[in-house]
Chain A
Amino acid sequence: MNKTVTFRIWRGDATGGKFVDYTTEITEGLVVLDVIHKIQATQANDLACRWNCKAGKCGSCSAEVNGIPKLMCMTRMDTLNTDKPITIEPMRAFPSIRDLATDVSWNFRVKTKIKKFNPRKPDAEDGTWRMQQEDVDRVQEFRKCIECFLCQDVCHVLRDHHKHEEFIGPRFLVYTAALEMHPLDTEDRLAELKQSQGIGFCNITKCCTKVCPEHITITDNAIIPLKERVVDEYYDPLGWLWKKIRPKG
């Protein structure tokens, strides 16, 4: 069944831009990215948009559909109200390059600042380790991340308060949690989580969890346990007293 829809797409670059309406016919079974491609091919050959796998696994086609951060390839047209124009915007927490393509390189710079995985010495002479299955399972969820950066985009600490220099955002709290909870890792990342990485800025509104296309329980399973570790280390009065009277070593 063919239907006519209007896409209100943000066109512009770092210097500014505006919404432009494109009206096109759609058939059954399409996703937003299909319609964007159709508009590219028929009405706006120069409409910039990143995409790759069309299967929700590469994390390239992140955008804001009717104001909600989504992967365009995983947003089915039949979930949207087509009676009204559908707005398509780039991720607003990152600088615009052109149209729907944003500069997400800040994320890559942040990642390099997180202490790398540092495993303990092998447990056995053959160079292998022994781990509890439970400990292995705990971090698997975090490794589903496809780095689409929708959680970074929705986070008000970055999006509205622009704390890019003081806060690493949900994506990298998930990344840090995966390292911190890894049964073999020996690094301690709590000091920087508290200081330069700004975990305290997160006030657990859970917007990141809501937009995650991989359904990672970002707030409950990654951020809150990290917050608890920071609190245990720095804000527990009994712990503080204990450390005073029984210094390490």
Chain B
Amino acid sequence: MEVGPTTHYAMGGIRVNGETQATNIPGLFAAGECAAGLHGANRLGGNSLSDLIVFGKRAGEYAAKYAKENAAGKINDAQVEAAYKEAIEPFERAAGSGSEGPYQVQYDLQNMMQANVGIVRLQNEMEFALAGIEKLKERAAKVAVQGHLEYNPGWHTAIDLKHLLTVSEAITLCSLDRKESRGGHFREDFPDKDPEAAKYNSVIFKAADGSMKLRREPIPPMPEALKQVIEEMK
């Protein structure tokens, strides 16, 4: 039997307000694994369940409150049309005209990330991966699928590719920037914890030119109420 480590949990995600689970997009709430920050650098077994019970409830409550206080937004038909067109495009790329299927791109991305941004990380390997992601983006934009719209896993994979690449790029950018080892992030070139690096969060954002950028933000001080709880539990 083969045993090996694998991707297990995303310890980063959509940035939310800890109280309301609101994102910086009005009306969009996130909770659970897709939301960032709760578990720090290492989620321990079983903790995700309590996370999603507590913060799922909060997200639901605040989403309901938001929905009551705000009128339904207007739907932008042009945006809907553009999203539909983008989703359906892989069908329109004629097969055989040099287009490849979506799975090969997915496998190549998986293998590259496993090899270069996996368990043990190194500066030059991650830089190699960052360049590789750019090449895979070009391939992902050209994949072709065939068949129908119902339960078509090839089509779903074609749509997923864009997001898999976004997440891969975000992980790689943050891992390159964090020159220390902490929790699930282990760097052979920086094997120890850096106390200074414990003071900031890595925040990924979309720059004006559409590219992915990283900034460091200081970790907000712990609220008094939480400090008190920790004191009481000691």
Contact = CB atoms under 8 A, between A and B. Distances in A.
B102 A29 contact: no
A46 B103 contact: no
A46 B145 contact: yes
Contacts of B231: none
Question: Which DSSP category, helix, strand, loop or mixed, fits chain B's interface?
Answer: loop
16 contacts: A41-B101, A41-B103, A41-B107, A45-B145, A45-B147, A45-B153, A45-B157, A46-B147, A46-B154, A46-B155, A47-B153, A48-B151, A48-B152, A50-B151, A97-B150, A98-B151
B219 interface: no
Given A40-B103, A41-B107, A98-B148, A48 B153 contact: yes
A52 to B, nearest CB: 13
Interface string A8-46: 000001000000000000000100000000001110011
Contacts, number: 45
Contact of A99 (B1, B102, B151): B151
A190 interface: no
A38 to B, nearest CB: 10
The contact size tier of chain B is: 10 to 19
A181 interface: no
A45 B102 contact: yes
Interface of B: 1-2, 101-103, 107, 145-148, 150-155, 157
Interface in A76-114: 97-99, 101
Nearest to B106: A41
Nearest to A36: B153
